[in-house]
Structure 1
Amino acid sequence: MLELRPCCEHCNSALPPASLQARICSFECTFCADCAEQVLGNVCPNCGGGFAPRPIRPAQDRINGNYLGNDPAGTQVRHRPVDLQAHAALAASLRGLAPEQR
């Protein structure tokens, strides 16, 4: 089950379950759109992969109990500001490689 983390790992801004601003990597690292695009340049500081918009879990039960009420969003905050110097080196080493080639 996809973990819906409550905030951006870098800037700690709130990312509620229905947020269109949430971005995740394949390991579910979660950042806001601003940090993912502007600060991190679409390079996850934890794995080097790219980001995609986080899916929105349905708020209401429409099929077989598959909704936010049965599988709620996570509450554990993972505020781990990115070391921007280290990230710059990582991003530079990946420059020119598309996320699907990293």
Structure 2
Amino acid sequence: MLILKPNCECCDKDLPPEATDARVCSFECTFCAECVEQRFDNTCPNCGGNFVQRPVRPAGKLVKFPASDKRFTKAHAVCAHLHA
């Protein structure tokens, strides 16, 4: 089951479970569409894989299967200025 991380790993934008602009790779690295398209050319900076739109978990399932609340960012060179 997908973890549904709550934020973009690069810019730290909020990506709630219903976000349609969340993107994931096969390892569930999570980024917003803007970072994927403008910073990473649709290639995951962690694993080199491609991104797909993260599925939206139906609201009724979030009670039993909640999204993660652990925020995650990583020091990617193209994101460094966003965390200064």
Give the number of the structure whose alpha-carbon radius of gyration is greater.
Answer: 1
Give the Cα separation in 2 of the matches to 1:55 and 1:81.
26
2:30 aligned residue: 30
Distance 2:44 2:52 in 1: 11
Task: Compute the TM-score of the two structures, normalised by the length of structure 2.
Answer: 0.89
Could you tell me how far apart the structure 1 residues matched to 2:5 and 2:52 are? 14
The answer (yes or no) to whether the contact 1:8–1:15 under 8 Å persists in 2 is yes
Residue of 74, 78, 81 corresponding to 2:75: 81
Which residues of 2 match residues 15-94 of structure 1 at below 5 A?
15-60=15-60, 67-84=61-78
Q: How many residues align?
A: 78
CA distance in 2, matches of 1:23, 1:55: 9
Runs ≥4 residues deviating over 4 A: none
Question: Structure 2: 5+ residue runs without aligned partners?
Answer: 79-84
Cα displacement (A) at 1:54? 0.2
Instruction: State percent identity of aligned pairs.
Output: 51
Q: Describe the SS at the equivalent of 2:37.
A: helix
Q: 1:88 matched to which residue of 2?
A: none
Quote the residue 1:12 is aligned against. 12
- Letter of the 1:9 partner, please give it: E
Q: Secondary structure at the match of 1:37?
A: helix
> Partner letter of residue 18 of structure 2?
A
1:80 Cα offset (Å): 1.1
Residue aligned with 1:34, SS: helix
Secondary structure of residue in 2 paired with 1:23? strand
